Amino acid sequence: MNESDRKILRRAGKRITPQRVLILKVIRESGGHLDADEIYRLAKQKAPRLSLSTVYRTINVLKEAGVIEELHLGEEHHHYELRGEKGHHHLICQDCGKVVEFECPFSEQLMRDLGEKYGFEIAAIHLDLVGHCAECRREERK
């Protein structure tokens, strides 16, 4: 966990615990899209007494603090990724679950325009395209 993460948590009145440091590290090093159980399993390797509740509680803390973001990738549970990185949007294959990230040149514009139009202060934008990837379509045609 870097200095800015610490500041963010402290500003939110949260303590820096080894569990939180570890969980954030796992999310950061995975490079994206883990779900709660994957985070739990990976983190448990380093801290065997870690509990799943703590993972969920930490996810909520990090979510509220704005450090990570919750994704809905079409499965019945959530996935999480670090916030504020480039290429935040997702192209999701409905057949194999593959996720491709992309950048949207319109995002910023949309946030401003729509925020203004409807009086909203926009905090985040979620843009997901679901469909069928090239491989799965090829598979399909066989």
Residue of 7, 45, 46, 52 that binds DNA (CB under 7 A): 52
Residue of 47, 110, 127, 129 that binds DNA (CB under 7 A): 47
Q: Which letter does DSSP use for residue 109 in this model?
A: H
Which among DNA, a copy of itself, none contacts residue 2 (Cβ within 5 to 8 A by kind)?
Answer: none
Number of residues that bind a copy of itself (CB under 8 A): 31
Report the C-alpha gap between 69 and 88 in whole angstroms.
Answer: 10
Residue of 7, 45, 46, 51 that binds DNA (CB under 7 A): 51
Task: Indicate whether 7 belongs to the interface with DNA (CB under 7 A).
Answer: no
Q: Which residues of 4-29 are buried (b: 16+ CB within 10 A; e: fewer)?
A: ebeebbeeeebeeeebbebbbebbbe
Task: Indicate whether 116 belongs to the interface with a copy of itself (CB under 8 A).
Answer: no
Closest CA to 74 of 53, 55, 99: 99
Task: Indicate whether 38 belongs to the interface with DNA (CB under 7 A).
Answer: no
Closest CA to 73 of 52, 103, 102, 93: 93
The site for DNA (CB under 7 A) is made up of 10, 13-20, 35-37, 47, 49-54, 56-61, 75-78
